[in-house]
Amino acid sequence: MESNVDKAREFERVINTYGDLLMRTCFFMLKNKQDAEDVVQETFFKYMTSDCRYDSEEHIKAWLLRVSQNKCKNLLRYKSMHSHISYADIEEGFVSVTESFIPESDLEEIIEIADLDYKYKSVVILYYLEDYNAEEVAEILGLSPAAVRKRLQRAREKLKITYEKIYVEGGEI
């Protein structure tokens, strides 16, 4: 049986190991630093209070990502039913906040990803930015691998259209 000191050390290790990952993925989903921080905090609280036994580090990581993605989805669903903020305000806040902890070279790519629907954005982030394969993404999000591959295909098509509008045609979106 683990002592409280051992549990506290393990919990601190998990926060140090996965805190940045969860913050990045939640921020990409929510486009709001404060909401992302809240979701990360709720995710770690759920981890701390759960009785779940984890087989490996990958199991912990997948569990944390799954819980945080579900919490992001629930928050987005709640906000879509209860409030309205103009897109300009969101984009302005997104750009100013990202400059503080995301390299400038990646900012343009991230903004393009941020314009995707949640279902596309979640698979793109896990597949391309976090280096999970389609089967692992499917397991984390509770989808079939075929659904993940299809969403990746559709997301790539949307990003290609956005890219062509900006760089090939030289126009505004």
How far apart, in Å, are the Cα atoms of 66 and each of 89, 136, 173?
A: 29, 11, 32
The fold of 1-102 is Rna Polymerase Sigma Factor; Chain: A (1.10.1740)
Residue 60: per-residue pLDDT:
92
Cβ 115 vs Cβ 159: under 8 Å: no
pLDDT value at 172 more than 60: no
Residue 147: per-residue pLDDT:
95
Residue 94: per-residue pLDDT:
46
Give the least confident one: 89-93, 121-125, 168-172: 89-93
Class for the domain spanning 103-173:
mainly alpha
Q: How many residues are present in the chain?
A: 173
- Dihedral angle computed from the Cα positions of residues 147, 150, 151 and 157, in that order, rounded to the nearest 10 degrees: 180
Q: What confidence tens digit (pLDDT) does each residue in 65-88 have?
A: 999 999 999 998 887 766 554 555
Domain map of the chain by residue range?
A: 1-102, 103-173
